[in-house]
Amino acid sequence: MDKIKRLFMAKSVKTWFALYMLAGILLALLLSLLLSSGCQRIRENIYDKYRLEYQDSYVEMQVGPYPGHVIGYYLEDFTSFFMPIERKVYNLMGFFSVGVYPICFILCIAATSIVFYKRQLQAPFAILNHAAGRIADNDLDFKIVYDKKDELGKLCASFEKMRQALRESTEEMWRQVEERKRLNAAFSHDLRTPLTVLKGQSELLRQYAPKMDPEKIGSTAGMMYRHIVRLEAYVQTMGDLQRLEDIEVARQAVTAGALCRQLRETGEAICGGCGKGFSCALMGDPNTVLQIDPAMVLQAYENLLANGARFAKGAVAVSMEERGGYLYLTVSDDGEGFTEKGLEDAAKPFYKTEGETGREHFGMGLYICKVLCEKHGGYIRLRNGGGAVVSAVFQA
């Protein structure tokens, strides 16, 4: 039973239209024959009524050369004996016995078309019209459901894919807006301290510069210069983030072995400069071809490596693996690992660990990695495992 149901649901609209039209034509033909036969029977009943009554009547006609030579003929046409109303009915039934064919065909095809529309077209059209109205109102929190597998079913499925894509893009847009708001809030918060210092030092110089000794003036100017440099670095960082969000992924074929060699060279340079040990392991076949943007992957890797080298006690380990169409790049260190707050917030902009006073960075490394991974169709994951472990995942 289910197999028969699925077979009927899979028929195309054209097939259903042909079947409905064929059924309508057969119904029209059968109805026409029945009605025409009925009309003929009414005519025959009227005719037989008078034929039985006047069948003994005949006419006499004189034929031949001799007067009085008469021969009798039975009547074959009894319509002259019909009553006026019966004659009208008789003639009308004669007209309808022929005219019923086009009338039945027109009515049956019209009725079949209406039934075809109501059973095959009305429901999907109503679904699509309702969906279009909700999409036009920016309401994407619904689902388009139509079970049939015909052309309209495929159209509904396409509408559902479009709705899902619109919802995902809208959610991504709002996510980016919220992310930008958080970024701007963090940026404004971090700018407050250097701006306050600069304002205070400038007021100090403006009021007391003539009375201050040169050494104090030099010290104040040096402090102001350091904060100005920091502000320039902030502006540069924000510009870099804007460019990161605007770049497009330029994929190219790279073997896993070639990429691993690049990772190893970069890791030895960065970790060697910090006096930390380094190891890089490739999981899988080195001849595996990856479709990635090498520049984007390496930029994210360098940020992860710089973080790992900064917090590692003695060594940083890197592993790379292609699995299920994704490139997994994991950087781990032997440091103290993430705190609970760090696991939640380390990938947010301008994050620094508690007690970290260094001004050489702005806490943007993991956030930049997060942006790059998401641009590349992936994500970033933080965890602890004998130290901090950060996995950057890229669609490959």
Domain shared by 195 and 312, yes or no: no
pLDDT of amino acid 379: 92
CATH number, position 350:
3.30.565.10
116-145 pLDDT, tens per residue? Answer: 999 889 999 999 999 999 988 888 888 988
96's CB contacts (< 8 A; 6+ apart) are: 35, 36, 39
Strand-pairing partners, residue 283, are 321
pLDDT for 55 beyond 50: yes
Q: In sequence order, what E strands does the chain have?
A: 58-62, 70-74, 252-255, 277-283, 289-292, 315-323, 326-333, 379-384, 388-395
Give the pTM.
Answer: 0.52
Domain boundary (195, 212, 246) is at 246
Q: Is residue 160 in a domain?
A: no
Q: 313 exposed, middle or buried (CB, 10 Å; 0-12, 13-18, 19+)? A: exposed
194-248 pLDDT, tens per residue? Answer: 777 677 777 777 776 676 677 777 777 777 777 777 777 667 766 666 666 667 8
Task: Say if CB 144 and CB 159 are below 8 A apart.
Answer: yes
Axis-axis angle for helices 256-273, 294-311 (nearest 10):
30
Q: Is residue 61 in a domain?
A: yes
Q: Is residue 13 in a domain?
A: yes
Strand-pairing partners, residue 320, are 282, 329
Domain shared by 107 and 238, yes or no: no
Q: Is residue 349 in a domain?
A: yes
CATH number, position 209:
1.10.287.130
Domain shared by 225 and 279, yes or no: no
Residue 66 pLDDT grade (very low, low, confident, very high; cuts 50, 70, 90) = low
Domain shared by 23 and 118, yes or no: yes
Domain shared by 11 and 127, yes or no: yes
In the structure, how many helices (H) and strands (E) does the chain have?
10, 9
Amino acid, single-letter form, for residue 289: V
Q: Is residue 154 in a domain?
A: no
68-118 pLDDT, tens per residue? Answer: 555 544 455 667 777 888 888 888 988 888 889 999 999 999 999 999 999
Q: Is residue 144 in a domain?
A: no
Residue 366 pLDDT grade (very low, low, confident, very high; cuts 50, 70, 90) = confident
Q: How many domains does the chain have?
A: 3
Structure tokens of 168?
């995902």
Question: From CA 350, how far away is CA 230, in angstroms rounded?
Answer: 13
pLDDT for 50 beyond 80: no
Domain shared by 257 and 203, yes or no: no
Cα–Cα–Cα angle for 318, 324, 326, rounded to 5 degrees: 50
Residue 61 pLDDT grade (very low, low, confident, very high; cuts 50, 70, 90) = very low
Domain shared by 307 and 230, yes or no: no
Question: From CA 66, how far away is CA 303, in angstroms rounded?
Answer: 137
Domain shared by 340 and 376, yes or no: yes
Residue 332 pLDDT grade (very low, low, confident, very high; cuts 50, 70, 90) = very high
Q: Is residue 148 in a domain?
A: no
Q: Is residue 192 in a domain?
A: yes
Domain shared by 199 and 98, yes or no: no
Residue-number span of the structural domain to which 76 is assigned: 2-136
pLDDT of amino acid 347: 80
265-275 pLDDT, tens per residue? Answer: 888 888 887 88
Identify the weakest region by mean pLDDT among 147-161, 164-178, 344-358: 344-358
Domain boundary (246, 277, 297) is at 246
Domain shared by 263 and 390, yes or no: yes
**Among residues of the chain, what percentage have pLDDT more than 90?**
30
Domain shared by 268 and 210, yes or no: no
Question: From CA 394, how far away is CA 373, in angstroms rounded?
Answer: 6
Domain shared by 265 and 295, yes or no: yes
pLDDT for 359 beyond 60: no
> DSSP 3-state assignment of 283?
strand
H-helix segments, the chain:
2-9, 13-53, 84-116, 122-136, 151-208, 214-246, 256-273, 294-311, 340-345, 365-375
> DSSP 3-state assignment of 329?
strand
Structure tokens of 238?
């924000």
Structure tokens of 108?
């049956």
Domain boundary (98, 114, 136) is at 136
Question: From CA 311, how far away is CA 319, in angstroms rounded?
Answer: 18
Cα–Cα–Cα angle for 370, 372, 375, rounded to 5 degrees: 110
